[in-house]
Chain A
Amino acid sequence: MIEKDKKGFPIRSEQRKNWEPYFFLAPVLLSMLIMTGYPLVRSIVMAFLNYKLTEPNNIYFAGLKNFISIFQADPHIPMILLNTIKWVFISVGCQFLLGMILALALKKPFKGRNLYQSIVFLPWAFSSFAVGIMFRWCLNGEYGIVNHVLMQIGLISEKISWLGSSDLALISVIMAMVWIGVPFFAIMYLAALQSIPSDVYEAATIDGCSRIKGFFLITIPYITPTMITTLLLRTIWVFNAIEMIMIMTGGGPAYSSETITSYMYTKAYGTQDFGTAAAMGLLVMIVLMLYSTIFLRSTRYEESGDF
């Protein structure tokens, strides 16, 4: 009997030698185990300790104290959780939608497409720090180009303080995050779209399938694996991304653009209470793991995803 892999290619028995894959994976696994494995174990231990750098002689096992104190004393946590949800879903959602639209628009070749692509995909190559600085500069309430342009074309009559208003700060940071993230989706989806053999569409056209129907019946299923991988990874990355927030607003004004991850970071270094920080970090990881599991299960990744 010949075994087959998930793409239907036969796997030969000799390729099942036990040591070979480990041999190939060894370099990366070893280095990763040391550099992330150790911190992870340490964090798990620390989450249950009273571990403040400012109390070096007062380290003891504290049970669940750290976890409880996260929710107990802090009246701002509910708002920050809400911000986090907005931050992740709006920014990933917009990146996904715009990336998809861009990929669809780029699918059919046109003159100069290569040049166009090398420009439009550029933001992906920028660092969040540089983009954060750039947007902070453009959105400056006084010398910002955005206000200037909006006033000149008469859309607004008064300068808007984009980063100085608790209603707009988070959205402004999300805007910058979307700007940087669209190309990633566009590149991935464009590649996926181009992988669809053209004869599939031809057959569909003969069957009298409309464009819209074709999109939902052929295109979407075909690129689902890519969508799963990109959405999952991006969500995790965006969740943990704090640089943009730090550089644009520092979480302010009045916590209005703070996410749980950026809050954790500021808190950890402000209080030097790394026990509580570790507890928060673990909670974040548990949430992300749950999310990933549910996400992958519900999309039946076994058949389709890259994981």
Chain B
Amino acid sequence: MRRATVILVAVLMLFTAVLSGCSGSSGTGGGKLKGKISFMDVSPRPEREQFFRNMITEFNKEYPDVEVDYQTVPWDDAATKLTNMAAAKQLPDVINIYTGWIPQFVAAEWMIPLDTYLDNAGIKDKFTAFTKGYYWAEQQEIYGHIYSIPDGLMSGGIFVRKDWMEEKNIELSSWTWDDYFYLIEALTDPEQNRYGSSYRGARGAFDRIREYLVSFTEGRMYDDEGNCLLYSEENVERFIKFTDVYMKGYAPKDAINWGFTEMVDNFTGGLTGTLNNDTEVVAICQERMEDSQWTVLPLPASTVDGKTYGASGASYGYAVSSFSKNQDAAWAFIEFLSRPENNAEYCKVMTLIPIRTDVENDPFFSEEGPMAGFLAQVNDPNFVVMASYGPFDYTDLHQGPLHAEVQLYLQGKQSADETLKKLSDELASRMKAYLKDNPGTIPQPKSLVSGD
């Protein structure tokens, strides 16, 4: 019933859009939407709050009868909080969803598919190849629908202390994983309390290791039967090589407990010389460091085929809650946030890669500077987005075993072989179980340009 209404309204909206000569997506039907919607920012910061409050004011000029309630929750507690809300069927109408939560939210049916909305708005083609070819393509492959509109896109890179490199006269002729390990070792200087790497030891630890391991498997995670490719005799050696960054003291001992926050904090604070992290960290570096101190290098290339394998996508997206009583208004707000000018402003504040084609040419993104590098990387035919962990819900793995098992190795409590085997067995068993009910869902690496 509700679905039918949605479609009906959507069709009506399309109709009015056609009548008004498709003069941009703005204004049409704005006056008709009424009611109250809530939007929860899961990573509040003063500049974000400022941005969203401005957006709401602008939005209300067009939709005066839609009241938007801006809500916040500390990032650390966001997941817990949303679970509580969802259990009470009280999710915010517009969910600011972290990409890692998507499998769980889809499984729990907490979000509605946005395909119809997107088609009816007729704006799908105006999104970048990156958005369509990777972000949405993957959601469609796995779930059959598009569930979220990314807020901005990002990709990995290696943040480096330029000044330390100059001091040590380090020159890099090529940039493969081996050069990366060499750089970390060379930047380490116990005398000066300098460590080569902001090693990630806590949540997300295995994401980094995986990035290196898949550079030997052409970006693949599983074979056609769902066996995990990460475990092999050679890969155990590579696992050891990667974790040696920690074991050999090129990272502080405390780094075993480091997550995202601590990695960034200690790089900008001057304790570590390299940081493997995402586009969004550019803003933090700009804020907290001198320009002469740092630069961003692309992800290192594979030593096998010279291609670059990395994760890429969005940190957050916007989705509509399935409990929402005002789904149309919620969509209208998302559509508003995704407009070129608004998205451009957001991406500048947050240093992300824009989602709209019209924005890519904005000098902020296209000219010299860290953002241009990221943009170049994702448009490079040699850049391959590695296969994801899988279509199954792996939040619990991500919150525990995926780093805890590695920590056991780092603390000398189990061998590298055991660690890698345990993790890839667990992943394989989940993949196979999922495959039984959903054939043909093995995640594949994607090359953006060629795929489009």
Contacts and interface: CB of A to CB of B under 8 A. Distances in A.
A161 B107 contact: no
Interface string A266-299: 1101111010000000000000000000000000
A47 B395 CA distance: 22
A76 B405 CA distance: 11
Contacts of A271: 395-396
Contacts of B108: 53-56, 272
Given A53-B87, A253-B201, A266-B400, A141 B413 contact: no
A142 B410 contact: no
Contact of A163 (B193, B254, B403, B410): B254
Nearest to A141: B254
B253 A267 contact: no
Contacts of A141: 252-254
Nearest to A263: B400
B83 A164 contact: no
A53 B108 CA distance: 6
B107 A54 contact: yes
Contacts of A159: 253
A270 B257 contact: no
Q: Which of A142, A255, A266 has the most CB of B within 10 A?
A: A142
Contacts of B257: 163-164, 249-250, 252-253
Contacts of A266: 399-400
Contact of B404 (A140, A161, A254): A254
A229 interface: no
Interface string B74-114: 00000110010011000000000000000010011100000
A165 interface: yes
Contact of A253 (B79, B252, B256, B271): B256
B13 interface: no
Contacts of A255: 404
Contacts, number: 89
A82 to B, nearest CB: 14
Contact of A161 (B202, B254, B398, B408): B254
B393 interface: yes
B407 interface: yes
A55 B405 CA distance: 27
Interface in A19-45: none
A304 interface: no
Given A53-B86, A140-B254, A253-B407, A269 B107 contact: no
B411 interface: yes
A50 B104 CA distance: 17
Q: Which of A54, A140, A164 has the most CB of B within 10 A?
A: A164
A265 to B, nearest CB: 9
Contacts of B203: 250
A162 B413 CA distance: 18
Contacts of A53: 83, 86-87, 108
A219 interface: no
Q: Which of B257, B271, B393, B408 has the most CB of A within 10 A?
A: B257
A166 interface: yes
A161 B393 contact: no
A54 B110 CA distance: 9
A155 B418 CA distance: 37
B256 A161 contact: yes
Interface string A117-153: 0000000000000000000000011100000000000
Contacts of A250: 202-203, 257
Interface in A153-172: 159, 161, 163-166
B202 A252 contact: yes
Contacts of A249: 257
A141 B399 CA distance: 24
Nearest to A136: B257
Contacts of A140: 254
Contacts of A165: 253, 256, 411
Interface in B230-274: 252-257, 266, 271
A200 B405 CA distance: 60
Given A253-B407, A255-B404, A161 B395 contact: no
Given A164-B257, A252-B404, A272-B108, A142 B83 contact: no
Contacts of B253: 141, 159, 161, 164-165
Contact of A252 (B266, B393, B407, B413): B407
A-B pairs with the 5 shortest C-beta distances?
A161-B253, A254-B407, A141-B254, A270-B399, A270-B396
10 contacts: A54-B108, A140-B254, A163-B254, A164-B257, A165-B253, A249-B257, A252-B202, A253-B257, A253-B411, A255-B404
Given A253-B201, A272-B83, 5 more contacts: A142-B254, A165-B411, A253-B411, A266-B400, A272-B108
Interface of B: 79-80, 83, 86-87, 104, 107-109, 193, 201-203, 252-257, 266, 271, 393, 395-396, 398-400, 403-405, 407-408, 410-411, 413
